[in-house]
Amino acid sequence: MSFGFQVTSRDGGARRGVMTTPHGAVETPAFMPVGTQGAVKGVTQRDLEALGAEILLSNTYHLYLRPGDGLIARQGGLHRFAGWPRPILTDSGGYQVFSLASRRTIDEQGARFQSHLDGSAHLLTPEKAADIQAQLGSDVAMVLDECLALPAEAGAARTSMERTLRWAARARTRFLEIRAGTASGVIVTNPGQAQFGIVQGGVYPDLREESAEQTVKVGFEGYAIGGLSVGEPADVMYDIVARTAPRLPEDRPRYLMGVGTPSDIVEAVARGIDLFDCVLPTRNARNGQLFTSAGRINIRNARYAEDNGPPDPACECYTCRTFSRAYLRHLIHAGEINAATLNTLHNLHFYLDTLRRIRESVSFGRFESFRVAFHQGLSGQPHDS
Amino acid sequence: MSFGFQVTSRDGGARRGVMTTPHGAVETPAFMPVGTQGAVKGVTQRDLEALGAEILLSNTYHLYLRPGDGLIARQGGLHRFAGWPRPILTDSGGYQVFSLASRRTIDEQGARFQSHLDGSAHLLTPEKAADIQAQLGSDVAMVLDECLALPAEAGAARTSMERTLRWAARARTRFLEIRAGTASGVIVTNPGQAQFGIVQGGVYPDLREESAEQTVKVGFEGYAIGGLSVGEPADVMYDIVARTAPRLPEDRPRYLMGVGTPSDIVEAVARGIDLFDCVLPTRNARNGQLFTSAGRINIRNARYAEDNGPPDPACECYTCRTFSRAYLRHLIHAGEINAATLNTLHNLHFYLDTLRRIRESVSFGRFESFRVAFHQGLSGQPHDS
């Protein structure tokens, strides 16, 4: 199967579709669980399949440093290495260079940094990010973008956005060389890989519009909106998404990177977004925070010590069908690994089920009533945390 | 279903049987995965059912301290609390008092100690251990025994063995009061609970024989051999088992506590043992040690960095069917929770499958040839660790 995307129904600004990849189809809008190092923390690949996950995100920065994209390529690529036969999207590594690496310096060539693991020196260029992802063999590769330091004045945001555009063109050139088989030294483990461009421009609508237009001119199989959900108010994010999405091609998938809360996802779908990824359901699960249809609860809370009800009475996941709040509280206080597993199973089920309900509501022209009911449910009870 | 035990076939000293409990039947010889705090570290209850585990062991000491046997009783007992509907055996807490607690002192009344969690002071008596286990509602409760400090002279071993006998009588008296409903203040969550006595006596065959005879005189639903696999040579352990097992009733299950390696289990079955528990498959999994049909390997080893074969080519578990040694090595070096899960799934499969093969070989009168082939397989390749 080669890469493609088709919108199958629309409801207001929301759309439902199917993204096809060399490793199978993904129904959109879709949420991608984050498997940073080739594994989603706390749950196995068969758990993910049982939950209905159709696509995972994996982090290029981490896999490049350990175990190395060369090793993964020699093992046949990331799908085979990680035992995950379905679609995978990899980021470019840029965000982690900005958030994890030390002594990073950025210039026109790329990002120089030291590994957070062993201090070794590395240079990540747009071409190198494409090469690494070609070796990983993800179904969707992302271009290297510059992550703007916040808060950013309009001038700095423009400078950064323009560099991201130049990097996008370089990344596309390299990607096409890889696809043509003329990139020497690169083990291409997934010849059908697609590449997405990334719109930047901070919180400035005019910069976002210009970035969108110019990124589309470079030409990619899909487009992401980056640099949001980084501390700005939710309504600012929604506004940027609302202004940017319409400037992206109707017939290509739109991916809002690193977003977000369940509410953020519903609101972004309303504004035309098709793909999401976020560490919230998995990371927060490990800290005891559970997403429920009535809001978030923190299972560490003393009020749950003798609560024999399920985490979310409206939920049909394995955790909610089998275990009580009292037991889950015990596990996390006792430091049991299983706390991470059972909480993660629940939170991922909540996210993936929310996306299933979104898709269904779009199909039946009921997205707006779903959206209202969803937000009302979340506000039905005070949050623990 | 009430507690019972029936031997269904014999082959030399080995025997196959069925132990029935209020929560279902257990085919013996059986291995009990250890779920110290009401959870087997790294694997979920549904994973355990899929692996074919029929009975779990849980630790009274840990559950008494956290979340407390009172809380678990109010939640309906340990089966309901932990979402495990099948049989559970609980130890008495004595071993953990000796190995984990601080400032412990033993006298005729019982064991005084301070919690390893918060330093709080506690007194565990034979009666109290019975009460706690009645509140947990396990299917098999163990009597409180005195754990001998090693090495022990014959005199000290005798003194300790005799105290364990007096404690066994007190534990039985209390158990019968609980069963009769005359133990006030105890929430009995499993009226069909059975109680096992424990044979002690160190490495002294005459003490073991005397302990066995006197423990049988007290009268229990089953009998354990305690105080082995604590540092003595394997042949000493095998010899004590060989001398002790025949002094225990033919029609009651025999449980060798805390044992052991796969070889130990095969050798103990040959000497008439029916039940085993051990932390080796689960604890060692978390450290990267995998039990295979050709011996143990440590998946952290550099030699596996690019090894695309399964951990054990002869194994049919999920881990071996899905993942390579290279991937499992990556996961443990990357500190991923999934390393614990996947390694534990494999090791428990290896143990449970070994017991399945033992039972089958006994049924078909081929235990001796199984035993020879099993040991030959293990010695086929040098161990990593």
A341/B336 touch (CB, cutoff 8 Å), yes or no: no
- Residues of A (53-92) whose Cβ lies below 8 Å from B: 62, 66-67, 71, 74-76, 81-83
Identify the pLDDT of residue B288: 98
Contact by Cβ (8 Å): B368, B362: no
Per-residue HEC secondary structure of A325-355 comes to: HHHHHHHHHCCCHHHHHHHHHHHHHHHHHHH
Pairwise CA distance, residues A2 & A25, whole Å: 10
N-to-C CA span, chain B: 44
The first and second tokens of residue B117, run together, are: 């969690």
**Helix or strand holding residue B235 (H, E):** helix B234-244
- Nearest-CA neighbor of B101 among B84, B121, B86, B83? B121
Contacts of A100 in chain B (CB under 8 A): none
**What is the pLDDT, as a whole number, of residue A382?**
45
pLDDT at position A384, please? 64
Q: How large is the greatest C-alpha to C-alpha distance in chain B, in angstroms?
A: 64
Determine whether the interchain pair A308/B83 forms a contact, defined as Cβ–Cβ distance below 8 Å: no
| Kind of pairing between the strands at B222-225 and B194-199 | parallel
CA B86 and chain centroid, separation: 16
Query: Closest residue of A to B326, CA-based?
Result: A81
Question: Looking at the partner chain, which of A41, A82, A334 has a beta carbon nearest the beta carbon of B66?
Answer: A334
User: Is B360 an 8 Å CB contact of chain A?
Assistant: no
Lowest-pLDDT range of A222-226, B144-148, B215-219: B144-148
Locate the chain B residue with the closest alpha carbon to A47.
B47
Neighbouring C-beta atoms of residue A217, cutoff 10 Å: 11
- CA A305/CA B256 separation, integer angstroms: 35
Query: Is the Cβ of A303 closer than 8 Å to some Cβ of chain B?
Result: no
pLDDT band (50, 70, 90) for residue B103: confident
One-letter amino acid of B91: D
Question: From the candidates B91, B264, B312, B353, which is the catalytic residue?
Answer: B91
Q: Is the pLDDT of residue B100 over 90?
A: no
B336 in contact with A at a CB cutoff of 8 Å? yes
Q: Give the pLDDT band of residue B383 (cuts 50, 70, 90).
A: low
Q: Which residues of A touch B309 (CB under 8 A)?
A: none
Q: Which chain A residues are closer than 8 Å to B37 by Cβ? A: 330-331, 334, 336
| A342–B contact, CB cutoff 8 A | yes
Pairing of β B88-90 and β B140-142: parallel
Confidence of residue B147 (pLDDT cuts 50, 70, 90): confident
pLDDT interval class at B98 (50, 70, 90):
confident
B312 as an active site residue: the answer is no
b/e code A98-131 from CB counts within 10 Å (16+ = b): bebbeeeebeeebbbbebeeeeeebebbbbbbbb
Contact check, Cβ <8 Å, A67/B333: yes
Instruction: Give the integer Cα–Cα distance in Å for B183 and B180.
Output: 8
Q: What is the pTM of this model?
A: 0.97
Please report the pLDDT score of residue B382 as a whole number.
45
A318 part of contact set with chain B, CB < 8 Å = yes
Alpha-carbon dihedral of residues B375, B376, B381, B385, nearest 10 degrees? Answer: 10
CA neighbor of A85 nearest in space, from A49, A60, A112, A41: A49
A334: chain B residues, CB-CB within 8 Å: 37, 39, 62, 66-67
User: Torsion over CA of A321, A323, A329 and A330, rounded to 10 degrees?
Assistant: -170
User: Residue A128 belongs to what H/E stretch?
Assistant: helix A126-136
What are the 10-residue block averages of pLDDT along chain A, 385 residues in total? 95 98 98 98 98 98 98 98 98 91 91 94 97 98 91 94 98 98 96 98 97 98 96 95 98 98 98 98 98 96 98 97 98 98 98 98 98 89 53
Nearest CB neighbour to A323, from listed B41, B42, B83: B83
Rounded to 5, what percent of chain B is helix, strand, coil?
A: 45, 20, 40
The nearest alpha carbon in chain B to A68 belongs to: B330
User: Tokens 């559950």 sit at which residue?
Assistant: B63
| Nearest residue of chain A to residue B71 (CA atoms) | A306
Dist. CA B362–CA B366, nearest whole Å: 6
pLDDT at B124: 97
When pLDDT is cut at 50, 70 and 90, the band that residue B384 belongs to is: low
Judge: A341–B341 Cβ closer than 8 Å, yes or no.
yes
Residues in chain A, overall count: 385
Q: What ipTM was estimated for this complex? A: 0.97
How many other C-beta atoms are found inside a 10 Å radius of the C-beta of residue B252? Answer: 21
Residue A27 CA from chain centroid, whole number: 15
Percent of chain B with pLDDT over 90: 94
8 Å CB contact of B334 and A37: yes
